[in-house]
């Protein structure tokens, strides 16, 4: 039984990656070029490429094309591990781009999550995090101002958890988080350089210090072509 054309395209590209004919970071032919090469419709080519993106073989860079990916970053949803630690484990180079850094009045929801009094403010930070020059994660953080009055943009250009434990001397204990799949809004798609139709993985998390005080409320958006979430469980 002959395979569908889109699977043949997928297998051909996988074989080229396996044999190192195309390497991580290399561009692949455009949709139009592949359409002409295989004498098929653009929809068939798009189906093959989307499958390869979803399986982690390729990633799309908005406005530039489709490229060979490194294997997906694994995020263990059971533990509390910093982005910097995840990237180092994958051998990727970390870069953080701070977009916003200001002091604001929190909403009632954020105030409740961070155990704040009515007159207390938060530091609001928006940043994009890169692995090997690929924007893989968008973060929006809310941090109690009274705990981190000396926090700077420079600190947030590095590892925030390293600042919390290394510079401030606190112990990070645990987090409470929820996860869902969604499509990005315009701000997120532009920041992560993806299409508005590309799925993303969204985590809303608040994290606690060893003394039981919550020190961050974070909305994180992950590129699904770069990340996969895993959980290690032990049978009862």
Q: Which DSSP symbol is given to 168?
A: S
* Confidence (pLDDT) at 72: 61
Tokens of 124: 């609001």
- Domain range for residue 116? 73-230
Same domain, 62 and 151: no
* Confidence (pLDDT) at 125: 97
- 107-115: long-range contacts (C-beta < 8 A, 24 or more apart)? 110/142, 110/217, 113/142, 113/206, 113/214, 113/217, 114/142, 114/144, 114/206, 114/214, 114/215, 114/216, 114/217, 115/213, 115/214
**Where is 65: in which H helix or E strand?**
strand 65-68
Tokens of 69: 């990916």
Block residue for tokens 């204990």: 173
Q: At 70, give phi and psi (nearest 5°).
A: -75, 170
Tokens of 192: 């992560």
The answer to whether residue 35 scores a pLDDT higher than 90 is: yes
The three-state secondary structure class of 201 is strand
Same domain, 82 and 170: yes
Same domain, 13 and 95: no
Q: Which tens digit of pLDDT belongs to each residue from 40-94?
A: 999 999 999 988 887 778 888 878 889 887 666 656 555 566 777 777 766 778 8
Same domain, 107 and 198: yes
In a domain, 140, yes or no: yes
Would residue 90 be called left, alpha or beta, if left means φ above 0 and alpha means ψ between -120 and 50 degrees? Answer: alpha
Burial string for 197-213 (b: 16+ CB within 10 Å, else e) reads: ebbbbbbebbbbbeeee
In a domain, 235, yes or no: no
In a domain, 143, yes or no: yes
Same domain, 118 and 215: yes
CA distance 184 to 178: 17
Q: What is the mean pLDDT of residues 159-171?
A: 93
Using the 3D structure, point to which of 27, 44, 68 is the last residue of a domain: 68
**pTM across the whole model:** 0.67
Q: Where are the alpha helices (DSSP H) in 140-226?
A: 153-156, 160-162, 186-192
CA distance 135 to 82: 16
Using the 3D structure, point to which of 53, 68, 83 is the last residue of a domain: 68
The number of domains in the chain is 2
Q: What is the CATH number of the domain that holds 64?
A: 1.10.10.10
Same domain, 55 and 155: no
In a domain, 236, yes or no: no
Any idea what the Cα angle at residue 108 is, between residues 107 and 110, rounded to 5°? 65
Q: Which tens digit of pLDDT belongs to each residue from 101-158?
A: 999 999 999 999 999 998 999 999 999 999 888 898 999 999 999 999 999 999 999 8
Using the 3D structure, point to which of 38, 68, 98 is the last residue of a domain: 68
Same domain, 114 and 209: yes
* Confidence (pLDDT) at 81: 65
The answer to whether residue 232 scores a pLDDT higher than 80 is: no
CA distance 41 to 94: 39
């Amino acid at each position: 039984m002959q395979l569908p054309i889109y699977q043949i395209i997928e297998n051909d590209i996988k074989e080229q990656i396996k044999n190192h004919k195309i390497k991580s970071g290399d561009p692949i032919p455009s949709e139009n070029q592949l359409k002409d090469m295989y004498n098929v419709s653009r929809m068939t080519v798009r189906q093959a490429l989307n499958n390869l993106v979803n399986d982690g073989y390729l990633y799309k860079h908005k406005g530039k094309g489709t490229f060979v990916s490194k294997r997906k970053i694994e995020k263990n949803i059971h533990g509390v591990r910093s982005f910097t630690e995840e990237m180092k484990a994958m051998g990727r180079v970390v870069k953080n781009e701070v977009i916003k850094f200001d002091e604001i009045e929190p909403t009632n929801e954020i105030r409740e999550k961070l155990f704040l009094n009515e007159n207390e403010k938060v530091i609001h930070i928006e940043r994009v995090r890169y692995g090997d020059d690929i924007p893989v994660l968008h973060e929006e953080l809310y941090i109690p101002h009274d705990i981190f009055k000396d926090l700077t943009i420079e600190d947030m250009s590095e590892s925030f958890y390293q600042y919390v434990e290394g510079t401030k001397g606190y112990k990070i204990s645990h987090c409470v988080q929820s996860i869902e799949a969604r499509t990005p809004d315009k701000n997120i798609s532009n920041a992560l350089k993806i299409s508005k139709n590309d799925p993303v993985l969204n985590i809303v998390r608040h994290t606690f210090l060893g003394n039981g005080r919550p020190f961050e409320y974070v909305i994180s958006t992950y590129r699904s072509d770069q990340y996969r979430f895993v959980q290690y469980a032990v049978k009862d």
